[in-house]
Amino acid sequence: MIPDILAAWPQARKVFDGYGLSGCGGAHGPVESLEFFSRAHGVELGHLLEELRAATAEPIERPVAEGATLLADVLYRRFFKAAIIITLTFGATWGADLLWRIGLNDDFTAVSVFDVNAHGHAQIYGWVGLFIMGFAYQAFGRFRHVPLVRPGWANASFYLMIGGIVASVVGQIAHASRLGLAVALAGQAMELTAIGLFVSVVIGTYRASRSKGLGVHDGYIFASIAWFAVQALFGLAHLWLTMTAATPSELVYWVTTLQAPLRDMQIHGFAMMMILGVSLRLLPGVLGLPAISARRARLWLVLLNGAIVGEVMLFMGYRLLDNHLLAALLLVPWALLLVGAAALLWPWRLWRPLPGSDRSGKFVRAAFGWLALSMLMLVLLPAYSRLAGLPFSHAYYGAVRHAVTVGFVSMMILGMSAKVVPTLNGLDTRQLRQLWAVFILLNVGCALRVGFQIVTDFWPTAFALVGVSGVLEVTATAVWGVGLWRIMSVGARQERLASGPAPAVISPQHKVADVLAWFPQLEPVFIRFGFREITNPFLRRTVARRISLAGACSMHGRAGDALITALNEAIKRERRPVGTLASLPVIPSRRA
């Protein structure tokens, strides 16, 4: 395990850092095996072992001091925390409120279109956008085995994006005034600037690794980034035309003309392409899935992006030219999206249990299931509208959007963060809660929303049940968000302790958690003296922070002097030569 290696041979860190470890897992490294690290970071295991054996052969007289935490290593936390705040305010929570208002009035037009758009903007930029940006800043350099370039620009993009989201949402809420338009436009200008900085940092990071060729997953990532920029420009035009509409009929025209293409760019272009790219890169190593062939990935990269362009252009042509033939042709890109997503991921056999599943695996499988369902529903939209006796079913189309945004995008955000964030903060995911309540609530809520929204075409009473789905989804997101926030806070605290000077001598007044943060290799000493509670992550994050060594010994009826002596003796032994990594047998890991 990496923490064991770094505790015994601190000089091995430079090897891990060269392959993208950097601040991952805090001062002591992530709780994962060498085999897992080699798969997840794309380095051949034998080569990694050779480098580690050479590095650990170098003599040391004292532990290598930890430097200050780098900005690039912790940027993701502010993005993720801000995303949680936004979705629990302007995003999912406000969306649930809008659903209740719709349900109480039995009418989807019971709320302002500007409120709906402001909510959607907060979800796309504040929920999806912030999570993707934070993940990209944390992971893309590590994918390339280089540090993030221009972390100051990345940090600036965070504040610009936050300011832009707040201004855009507030401006759209105040749509009736000229000031509202000015504020909303200023907000979107800030968002555009933030996206420009984001693109520059990501491209600069890729260019810094000239010796490493592009992988097939990189094409999906670059396509997503391109769609991110294009949708922002298109969204600016959408905002101007809708907020300056002189009459209700003009407003309806621009909403029905621009809204669907904008959402296609945001969901299928930006979010789906990014999720597919990151999945192709990470899931084979993290969950033990087979690698997708380069030929298959390149083919569907071109065809899927062609399908997105097709659905945007055909819908725009249909509305602007009033040509119903173009509307009928939308079945072609929709069918291509369905077939493409299925064909690309077919080798993973996601209907079967994952070979290396942990608490994130069920979210990943469910997310791709919802993606397939949303694509199938999209293809069946014309047939359903005819069955319902409608020229176009807005309820059904809204259900399709919800299946892909919550069922696919949000489900994947929750699942991947449940794996990545504990690893980044040095926690073992096997000892954390499995998030079954979150998983069940989110899936039930999404299913109720999709199902009952469609039923409203035939049974108006179902409007009242639609609101329940929002409560379930918000509850699931809140439970997950609180847990994720706590994990990031624990990691930040441990980093602050580790970056400061460790005491030369441990005293009875030191807190148990602080001692373990300074010297994680002392855990076996605590266990030998009967303090097995420290292996419980919850107790370690709570009780261990507040109780001193003397207090812990008193509670357990142990001799405090003996424990303190043993701990200090263990620290002294650490300063002696410990041999090299070559002295350890290579044992195949059973972990995924």
- Residue pLDDT tens, the chain, 592 long: 888 888 778 788 888 888 878 777 776 778 888 888 888 888 888 888 988 888 888 766 444 444 445 788 889 999 999 999 999 999 889 988 888 888 777 777 778 899 999 999 999 999 999 999 999 999 999 888 888 999 999 999 999 999 999 999 999 999 988 899 999 999 999 999 999 999 999 999 999 986 677 888 999 999 999 999 999 999 999 999 999 999 999 999 999 999 999 999 999 999 999 999 999 999 998 888 999 999 999 999 999 999 999 999 999 999 999 999 999 999 999 999 999 999 999 999 999 988 876 899 999 999 999 999 999 999 999 999 999 998 889 899 999 999 999 999 999 999 999 999 998 888 888 888 899 999 999 999 999 999 999 999 998 888 878 888 999 999 999 999 999 999 999 888 777 776 666 777 888 888 887 888 777 778 888 888 888 877 776 666 667 767 888 888 887 777 678 888 888 888 877 644 445 555 555 544 433 3
Of 307, 378, 373, the closest CA to residue 342 belongs to 373
Q: Using CA atoms, how far apart are residues 34 and 46, in angstroms rounded to an integer?
A: 10
Residue 131: what pLDDT?
97
Question: What is the distance between the alpha carbons of residues 110 and 354, in angstroms, rounded to a whole number?
Answer: 44
Sign of dihedral through CA atoms 326, 327, 328, 330?
Answer: positive
Residues facing residue 548 across a β-bridge: 511
Which residues lie closer than 8 Å to 545 by C-beta, 6 or more apart? 511, 512, 513, 514
Q: What is the pLDDT of residue 576?
A: 45
Q: What is the DSSP letter of 42?
A: T
Predicted pLDDT at 563? 84
Torsion sign, CA atoms 505, 509, 511, 514:
negative
Residue showing tokens 């362009």 = 309
Q: State the Cα torsion 30-34-40-42 to the nearest 10°.
A: 130
> In 3D, which of 323, 321, 361, 368 has the Cα closest to residue 343?
368
Tokens of 590: 């059973």
- CA distance linking residue 269 with residue 42, whole number of Å: 26
Query: What count of other Cβ atoms lies within 10 Å of the Cβ of residue 316?
Result: 15
The radius of gyration of the chain's CA atoms, rounded to the nearest angstrom, is 26
User: Which phi and psi angles does 97 have, rounded to 5°?
Assistant: -65, -40
Whole-angstrom distance, CA of residue 228 vs CA of residue 221: 11
**What pLDDT was estimated at residue 591?**
39
Mean per-residue pLDDT of the chain: 87
Q: Is 469 left (phi over 0), alpha (psi -120 to 50) or beta?
A: alpha
In this structure, which long-range contacts are made by residues 15-18, counting pairs with CB atoms below 8 Å and at least 24 apart in sequence?
15/48, 15/51, 15/52, 15/55, 18/51, 18/145
Q: What is the pLDDT of residue 5?
A: 84
End-to-end CA distance of the chain: 13
Query: Would you state the structure tokens that stand for residue 493, as one six-digit string?
Result: 């605290």
Collapsing DSSP to helix, strand or coil, 548 comes out as strand
Q: What single-letter DSSP state applies at residue 172?
A: H
Cβ–Cβ under 8 Å, residues 426 and 488: no
Residue carrying structure tokens 């033939």: 325
